[in-house]
A and B are shown apart, each in its own frame.
Chain A
Amino acid sequence: MTPDRWIVLVAGLLLVAFIVWFFWLKRAKGVRAAEASSGHQEAMILVKGGYTPDTIIVRHGKPVRLNFRREETASCSEKVVFADFKKSADLPTGETVPVEFVPEKPGEYEFACAMGMFRGKLIVE
Chain B
Amino acid sequence: MNLVSDQEDKRDAAARAQTPVSEAGKARIDLTIGGMSGRHCAQAVEKALEAIAGVSAAPVNLASKVARITYDPARVEVPALLRAVRRAGYTPGAASLRLPIANMHCSSCVNHIEGGLKKVPGVISANASLGTGAVDIEYEPESVDFAAIRGAIAAAGHRIAEAKAGAPAPAGEEDVDPEDAARDREYRTLMRKWWFAAAVSIPVMALSYPKYIPVLRDWLPVGSEELRIVWALLGVLTLPVLLWSGSQFFSGMWDGLKHRSANMHTLIAIGISAAYLYSVVAVAYPDMFPSADLAEVFWDVTAVVTALVVLGLALEIKAKGRTSEAIKKLIGLQAKTARVIRDGKEVDLPVEEVVAGDIVIVRPGDKIPVDGELTQGASAVDESMITGESMPVEKKVGDEVIGSTLNKTGSFQFRATKVGKDTALASIIRMVKDAQGSKAPIQRVVDLVSSYFVPTVMILAVLASVAWYLVGPDPRIIYATVVLVTTLIIACPCALGLATPTSLTVGIGKGAENGILIRSGDALQTSQKLDSLILDKTGTITRGEPALTDVVVAKGQDEVDVLRLAASLERGSEHPLGEAIVAGAQKKDLRLTDAENFAAIPGHGVGGRIDGKDVLLGNAKLMRDRKISIDALTGDWERLATEGKTPMYVAIDGKAAGLVAVADTVKPDSKQAIDLLKKMGIEVVMLTGDNQRTADAIAREVGVDRVLAEVLPDDKAHEVQKLQLEGKTVGMVGDGINDAPALAQADVGFAIGTGTDVAIEASDVTLIKGSLIGVVTAIEISRATMRNVRQNLVGAFGYNTLGVPVAMGLLYPFFGILLSPLIAAAAMAFSSVTVVTNANRLRFFQPRRVAK
Mark A residues whose CB is within 8 Å of B. 1, 5, 8-9, 12-13, 15-16, 19-20, 22-24, 26, 38-40, 48-52, 54, 62-63, 72-76, 78-79, 81, 83, 86-90, 92-94, 100, 102, 112, 114-119
Contact = CB atoms under 8 A, between A and B. Distances in A.
Question: Max chain A CB contacts within 10 Å: which of B259, B454, B455, B466?
Answer: B259
Interface stretch (B436-444, B666-674, B687-695, B755-763): B436-444
A114 B469 contact: no
A20 B455 contact: yes
Contacts of A40: 86
B462 interface: yes
Given A75-B320, A93-B182, A16 B462 contact: yes
B246 to A, nearest CB: 14
Interface stretch (B93-101, B146-154, B250-258, B371-379): B250-258
A94 B182 CA distance: 11
A79 B89 CA distance: 23
17 contacts: A1-B470, A8-B480, A9-B469, A12-B463, A20-B455, A40-B86, A50-B258, A50-B259, A51-B259, A75-B186, A81-B437, A81-B438, A83-B439, A86-B438, A86-B520, A90-B179, A117-B264
Contact of A8 (B87, B437, B470): B470
A54 to B, nearest CB: 6
A23 B182 CA distance: 31
A53 to B, nearest CB: 10
Interface string B307-341: 00000000011001000000000000000000000
Nearest to B499: A115
B498 A49 contact: no
Nearest to A120: B259
Contact of B455 (A9, A19, A87, A90): A19
A81 B447 CA distance: 12
Contact of A12 (B131, B434, B446, B466): B466
- 7 closest A-B pairs (Cβ-Cβ)? A49-B255, A88-B437, A115-B497, A50-B259, A12-B466, A116-B447, A39-B87
Given A19-B458, A38-B83, A81-B438, A9 B260 contact: no
Given A23-B262, A76-B263, A117 B493 contact: yes
Question: Max chain A CB contacts within 10 Å: which of B248, B260, B317, B434?
Answer: B260
Given A5-B469, A22-B260, A51-B259, 18 more contacts: A1-B470, A8-B469, A13-B466, A16-B459, A16-B462, A19-B455, A19-B462, A49-B256, A50-B255, A50-B258, A50-B261, A73-B182, A76-B497, A81-B437, A83-B439, A89-B437, A100-B91, A115-B498
A38 B438 contact: no
A13 to B, nearest CB: 8
A22 to B, nearest CB: 6
Contacts of B466: 8-9, 12-13
A81 B142 CA distance: 34
A39 B434 contact: no
Given A75-B320, A83-B438, A117 B462 contact: no
Contacts of B179: 78, 90, 92
A16 B465 CA distance: 12
Interface string B444-465: 1011001110110011001101
Contacts of A13: 466
Contacts of A19: 455, 458-459, 462
Contact of A23 (B260, B320, B520): B260
Contacts of B255: 48-50, 72
Given A20-B459, A22-B260, A23-B262, A117 B89 contact: no
Contact of A92 (B178, B263, B452): B178
B173 interface: yes
Contacts of A48: 255
Nearest to B497: A115
A75 B458 contact: no
Nearest to B522: A86
Contacts of B437: 79, 81, 88-90, 114
Given A20-B459, A115-B501, A9 B470 contact: yes
B268 interface: no
Contacts of B83: 38
B433 interface: yes
A89 B436 CA distance: 10
A90 B173 contact: yes
Contacts of A24: 452, 455
Interface string B479-518: 0100000000000011001100100000000000000000
Contacts of A100: 35, 91
Interface string B412-452: 00000000000000000000011001110001101100111
A41 B125 CA distance: 21
A116 B480 CA distance: 32
A37 B186 CA distance: 39
Contact of B438 (A15, A88, A112): A88
Contacts of A63: 89
Contacts of B438: 81, 83, 86, 88
A74 B472 CA distance: 39
A38 B80 CA distance: 11
Nearest to A47: B255
Question: Max chain A CB contacts within 10 Å: which of B83, B251, B459?
Answer: B459
Nearest to B261: A50
A81 to B, nearest CB: 6
B455 A23 contact: yes
A85 B259 CA distance: 24
B478 to A, nearest CB: 14
A52 B259 CA distance: 8
A83 B444 contact: yes
A74 B182 CA distance: 10
Contacts of B248: 74
Contacts of A94: 131
Contacts of B452: 24
A72 B458 CA distance: 25
A116 B259 contact: no
A66 B634 CA distance: 72
A16 B444 contact: no
Question: Max chain A CB contacts within 10 Å: which of B89, B173, B317, B497?
Answer: B89
B434 A88 contact: yes
Contacts of A75: 183, 186, 316-317, 320
A71 to B, nearest CB: 9
Given A23-B262, A49-B255, A63-B89, A115 B444 contact: no
A117 B459 contact: no
A49 B839 CA distance: 26
B433 A90 contact: yes
A68 to B, nearest CB: 13
A15 B455 contact: no
A20 B262 CA distance: 12
Contact of A116 (B91, B443, B520): B443
A63 B178 CA distance: 30
A20 B186 CA distance: 33
A86 B437 CA distance: 9
Contacts of B186: 73, 75
A93 B185 CA distance: 12
Contacts of A1: 470
Nearest to A6: B470
Contact of B446 (A23, A76, A79, A116): A116
Interface string B176-197: 0011001101100000000000
